Amino acid sequence: MNESIAISASNLTKKFDDFTAVNDVSFKIFEGEIVGILGPNGAGKTTTLRLLTGVYKLEEGEKIEIFNENLKDNQINCKIKFGIVPEISNAYSDFTVLENLEFSGKMYGLSKEEIKNRSKILLERFELLDKLNAKTKTLSKGLKQRANLCLALLHEPPILILDEPTSGLDPISVKIMRKQILEFRKAGKTILITTHDIKEAQTICDRILIMNKGKIIADANPDTLRRDFKSISTIIFKTEKELDSKLMNYPTLIKRSDGTFAISSENVLKDLSELYNSFTLKNQIQISDVKIQETSLEEVFIDLIKNDSTKKKGVKND
Amino acid sequence: MIKDKLFKIWVMAKKNINLYIKKGPVIIFGLMFPFFMTLSWVLGRDISQNQIFVGIIAMTTFFTSTAISPIVFPIETREKSLERIISAPISLNQILLGIVLASALYSLLISSIITLIFIIIFQGLFSSLLYIFLFWLGIILMSILGSLLGLLVSAIPTDKTSDVMLIMNLIKFPLLFISGMFTPLDVLPFPVVVLSCLSPLTFLIDIFRYCVDGHSFFPYQIDLLVLVLWIIVFFIANGYFHRKTMPKRF
């Protein structure tokens, strides 16, 4: 990854009548970076992508630059730099895979020879050669998504935009898709990916933007998110005997359904030592099977969304 | 640069012809409708050969030209392929022209074939080559105009072809009935003639009559000019309305 900016978006806003889908969103994506946009349904992820790809017109004050070129002024030059894989296949269903590739290639200004050669390479790579003359409407979802990848890559774009690329796919197709995304990274492509799958984001993304209600509420790499946004780990343990009411009031202690206890901890070593003092030394209650559970990105995500929603409700009530 | 732009319009048009020529609404409203309309008009009536010829070709051109253009956007909205096109390096004007070209070519082809069949069967329809040229020019202009009209109706941001075709028929039939196709303009009362001037089809039929009968209600130059003006108006209206409604499709 280098420091040149592939995508720079400033003050993006999109309203649908009274509903604000994207609210003053700004971000930068560096060349070669894999950035994930995470968020619940209706957070504004797809709308943001549609603003980036020129599907929605930018209003006064909004700005998108693709490799320093203004999208408003150079729509054609900017659009050619994108390869887009949508959540639901948008290839022509009555065209065969080959016809779709030919049409797409011509739209992106490729010569017949280039279309032929590149199609062959891509179809081989995505194991679609035997489906060359099959109408796309006859393909399974996984195959359709692979065909979409071929269409997105045909003109060799430097930026790939993937909208929920593994949503609803079978495990084999998910594996192929993830492997490909990592190979694109190796090839130096800039990738912007929206996903519901937090584990996927954690595995493949260099940086994560968390969106909620049209705004970016967090922008950091997965590890920083875990560390900075919710540095609380959970200490899980068993006890030899029942706890009396005094110990049950121990700060943040929760009795779990499996009979174990859990304590939230911002400083595991300190809390473990206090736990030992309170339980074992003062009350002669042995603790065993101690486990430390790291906060997952999923918990960070849920926490951030919950806090953001509570904050917004609070503001509204004020 | 211009060559590249024109090539993309052609690629779009080719795609539209390949994908939509066999679609139900195109066959029903583009071929079957004018055929059965003509049959019901002609059968059992004492109508001159020239009037039948003019009526059939006018109806064919009008119906075929408005067959493909209204259905492209609703179908592509439903199938999501419109988003692929909008995010591709092609302008909205090129997309619109690709649809108009496909629809106009389809109309031009069908109308020209039927005209040719009539010329062969009823020899002596045209007294000179100039009339044939003028007749064909009328078909070309009407093909473009009808395509633009169909495209304009499809600015309604719906993904149902039935919605668009319903409105299309609500517009097409009144335009057809006031066009002087069934009754020549010179025998109609003045207020009806004024009303018929609202239909571009009136001017096409007037050109056709001039070509086969040698006389027309308006000078043929006026007829041509009105058709060209309608094309310009529809072209501007299409750009304006599609730009406005396109974001509502996603």
The predicted-structure confidence for B45-70, as pLDDT tens digits, reads as follows 788 888 889 989 999 999 999 999 99
More confident residue, A93 or A294: A93
Q: Exposed, middle or buried: residue B36 (CB in 10 Å: 0-12, 13-18, 19+)?
A: exposed
pLDDT of residue A318: 33
Q: What is the mean pLDDT of residues B198-218?
A: 92
Residue B5: C-alpha distances to residues A107, B45, B205 (Å): 10, 50, 34
Number of folded domains that form chain A? 2
Report the candidate in A111, A116, A121 with the shortest Cα–Cα distance to residue A101.
A116
| Pairwise CB contact (< 8 Å): A75 & B91 | yes
Give per-residue pLDDT as tens, A75-89: 999 999 999 999 888
pLDDT of residue A34: 93
Give per-residue pLDDT as tens, A249-258: 787 788 887 8
pLDDT band at A275 (very low <50, low <70, confident <90, very high): confident
| A–B interface: beta-carbon pairs under 8 A | 69
Residue B18: C-alpha distances to residues A89, A290, B14, B162, B236 (Å): 20, 68, 6, 21, 27
Asked if the model's pLDDT at residue A308 lies above 80, the reply is no
Domain that holds residue A240: 232-293
DSSP H helices, chain B, are 2-20, 24-27, 33-42, 49-65, 69-78, 81-86, 92-121, 129-153, 161-177, 190-196, 200-213, 220-245
**Dihedral angle computed from the Cα positions of residues B214, B219, B220 and B222, in that order, rounded to the nearest 10 degrees:** -170
Query: Do A179 and A239 sit in the same domain of this protein?
Result: no
Q: What is the mean pLDDT of residues B148-157?
A: 96
- Which CATH number characterizes residue A241's domain? 3.30.70
Domain that holds residue B32: 2-249
Q: Is B100 left (phi over 0), alpha (psi -120 to 50) or beta?
A: alpha
Asked if the model's pLDDT at residue A168 lies above 90, the reply is no
Asked if the model's pLDDT at residue A276 lies above 70, the reply is yes
Inter-residue long-range contacts of B124-131, CB under 8 Å, 24+ positions, other chains counted: B125/B49, B125/B50, B125/B53, B125/B212, B126/B211, B126/B212, B127/B214, B131/B210, B131/B211, B131/B212
More confident residue, B33 or B133: B133
Residues A206, A220: contact at Cβ < 8 Å? no
Helices B69-78, B129-153: axis angle to 10 degrees equals: 30
Q: What is the DSSP letter of A31?
A: T
Query: Do A60 and A167 sit in the same domain of this protein?
Result: yes
Q: Exposed, middle or buried: residue A260 (CB in 10 Å: 0-12, 13-18, 19+)?
A: middle
| Pairwise CB contact (< 8 Å): A90 & B83 | yes
Coil vs helix vs strand at A109: coil
Residue B90: C-alpha distances to residues A77, A190, B4, B58 (Å): 10, 23, 10, 34
Question: What does chain A come to in residues?
Answer: 318
Nearest CA in chain A to B22: A94
Residue A117 lies in a domain: yes
| Pairwise CB contact (< 8 Å): A109 & B84 | no
Query: Do A87 and A206 sit in the same domain of this protein?
Result: yes
Query: Do A27 and A59 sit in the same domain of this protein?
Result: yes
Query: Do A27 and A168 sit in the same domain of this protein?
Result: yes
pLDDT band at B126 (very low <50, low <70, confident <90, very high): confident
Nearest CA in chain B to A87: B80
Scan residues 57-96 of B and list those with Cβ closer than 8 Å to A: 79-91
pLDDT of residue A279: 85
Residue A100 lies in a domain: yes
Residue A302 lies in a domain: no
Asked if the model's pLDDT at residue A91 lies above 70, the reply is yes
Residues A233, A268: contact at Cβ < 8 Å? yes
Q: What is the mean pLDDT of residues B12-19?
A: 96
Q: What is the CA radius of gyration of chain B?
A: 18
pLDDT of residue A142: 86
pLDDT of residue A315: 42
Q: Which residues of A touch B11 (CB under 8 A)?
A: 103, 106-107
pLDDT of residue B159: 94
Query: Do A205 and A237 sit in the same domain of this protein?
Result: no
Residue A304 lies in a domain: no
Q: What is the mean pLDDT of residues B178-202?
A: 86
Q: Minimal Cα–Cα distance from B234 to chain A, Å? A: 23
- Which CATH number characterizes residue A183's domain? 3.40.50.300
Interface test with B, best of A92, A111, A154 (most B CBs within 10 A): A92
Q: What is the mean pLDDT of residues B119-134?
A: 88
pLDDT of residue A176: 79
Query: Do A195 and A75 sit in the same domain of this protein?
Result: yes
Asked if the model's pLDDT at residue A228 lies above 70, the reply is no
Q: Minimal Cα–Cα distance from B76 to chain A, Å? A: 8
Residue A130 lies in a domain: yes
Percent of chain B topping pLDDT 70:
100
Number of folded domains that form chain B? 1
A237: part of which helix (H) or strand (E)? strand A233-239
Coil vs helix vs strand at A129: helix
Q: Exposed, middle or buried: residue B162 (CB in 10 Å: 0-12, 13-18, 19+)?
A: exposed
Query: Do A175 and A195 sit in the same domain of this protein?
Result: yes
More confident residue, B217 or A200: B217
Residue A82, both tokens: 């994108």
Q: What is d(CA A189, CA A217) in angstroms, rounded to the nearest whole number?
A: 26
Query: Do A200 and A279 sit in the same domain of this protein?
Result: no
Q: Give yes or no for B112 touching A (CB within 8 A).
A: no
Give per-residue pLDDT as tens, A115-141: 999 999 999 988 899 999 999 999 988
